[in-house]
Amino acid sequence: MSEDQLLTTNEVAHRLRIKPETVYAYVSRGLLDRVKVSGERISRFRLADVERLASRTQATRPERDAAPAMRTATTLIAYGRLHYRGLDVAKLAPGTPFEEIARWLWAGERRPEPFVAAAETVERARRASDHLPAQARLFDRLPVIVAVAAAMDPLRFDLAPATVTALAPALLSTMVDALPTAGEAAPDDSLAARLWLRLTDLPASVAGLRALNAALVLLADHDLAASTIAVRVAASTRANPYASVLAGLGALDGPMHGAVGTSVYRMIEAALRDGAPAAIAECFRNGGLPGFGHSLYPAGDPRGAALLDLVAELPIEGELRRAVDDLVATAARRAALPNVDFAVAALAHATGMGPAAGEVIFAIARTAGWIAHVIEEYAQPANRFRWNSGYTGPPPVSA
């Protein structure tokens, strides 16, 4: 389409997503030139000029100005700390069962009773996920497991808060228990102990289970992260809780979100093999340093610090401990502090878990937070999210 094409005032207003009178304000300020066309009394504007103005104004304007705000009573990040319903998470994590924290997120109640699921649901979910190809990741099983759990629940379309809160423990239990086992029987019926069996063949220790439980607590929610937004948008359409969790799992699978843990795990592997400076240099060469820094915590991620303290209490072999310490020290020279992704990767190495562990821990933990947000979203008007598109293509052509 020719750059000399002329647009009317209304066409310019539509293109810039402004009111027609604002177009004339741009003219008076010298930001846009009018073109006089012989025989016409209206103003017209060159397409090329409008496109240049659009690139300047819309690059700094929020694209979501027409969307309602997402408000939550679940999680607050303030003063460099993370809080679940007012409680400091880093202080809770070392000694509070994940089950208790999950119920606190869902209903403001602190009860540590175990999570259980129907044996038939677990068995069907396990069999269904067993049909995945051999190269499938452990994380790949989770969407299959959730889909089977949904199909087995005839009340999944009942969106009442009490119903959603009641199904959540069984969903989390199924997500863990339907995964293939790697070790011996769990030492107790906690979700952390049962998850341990799916991630490592090493015997569970008190310190190891304490650290894994803490990781689940620390990752249970994080305000409006990308995957949580996906969950809330799905819930706003009144998708059932299982379908909303599936939306979250899809977003979590991105390499810039939940899947970043694998990159951090590989970085620690590289540090063990080549040394911390070489491992960090290679990360920067490939585009960035995973596992360090967080925009919401300029002074350091309290989740990472809390979990690393617990990892330090584990009987870590000397080379791994040196590699982790050297990575932290080397990154600190660039004012980069370890975040929770680094701490989870360090935990995975220390306990014999593989590179897939971080993403699975993240997904299991965050499902608790997603359920809390689902409950909140069902209380809001349905279909309330509709963003402006910020169209940048060619203007429509009259027939």
Helices (H), 131-204: 141-151, 161-177, 191-199
pLDDT of residue 144: 98
- Portion of the chain with pLDDT greater than 90, in percent: 71
Tokens linked to 231: 């969950």
Cα 283 from Cα 66, distance rounded (Å): 39
pTM of the shown model: 0.84
pLDDT of residue 65: 46
Q: Is 349 a catalytic residue?
A: no
The answer on pLDDT for 130 being more than 50 is yes
Burial of 160 (0-12, 13-18, 19+ CB in 10 A): exposed
CATH fold for domain 6-57:
Multidrug-efflux Transporter Regulator; Chain: A; Domain 2 (1.10.1660)
Q: Check residues 254 and 240 and name the one with the higher pLDDT.
A: 240
pLDDT of residue 57: 63
Tell me the mean pLDDT in the region 190-213: 97
pLDDT of residue 2: 42
Tell me the mean pLDDT in the region 249-267: 92
Confidence of residue 1 (pLDDT cuts 50, 70, 90): very low
Domain(s) of CATH 1.10.1660.10: residues in the chain: 6-57
Tell me the mean pLDDT in the region 228-247: 98
Tell me the mean pLDDT in the region 297-324: 95
pLDDT of residue 323: 97
pLDDT of residue 4: 65
Q: Is 149 helix (H, G, I), strand (E, B) or coil?
A: helix
The answer on pLDDT for 79 being more than 50 is yes
Domain(s) of CATH 1.10.580.10: residues in the chain: 93-388
Q: Which of 177, 221, 301, 341 is catalytic?
A: 341
Q: Please write the tens of the pLDDT for every residue from 277-287.
A: 999 999 999 88
| C-beta of residue 252 within 8 angstroms of C-beta of residue 363 | yes
Cα 63 from Cα 78, distance rounded (Å): 25
- Mean pLDDT, the chain, whole residue set: 91
Confidence of residue 30 (pLDDT cuts 50, 70, 90): confident
pLDDT of residue 58: 54
Q: Please write the tens of the pLDDT for every residue from 312-351.
A: 999 988 999 999 999 999 999 988 999 999 999 999 999 9
Confidence of residue 60 (pLDDT cuts 50, 70, 90): very low
Q: What share of the chain is helix, strand, coil (3-state, %, to 5)?
A: 55, 5, 45
Q: Which of 222, 257, 294, 349 is catalytic?
A: 294
Confidence of residue 3 (pLDDT cuts 50, 70, 90): very low
- Portion of the chain with pLDDT greater than 70, in percent: 95
Right CATH for 93-388 from 2.40.50.140, 1.10.3470.10, 1.20.1250.20, 1.10.580.10: 1.10.580.10
Q: Is 14 a catalytic residue?
A: no
Confidence of residue 62 (pLDDT cuts 50, 70, 90): very low
**83 beta partners:** 76, 88
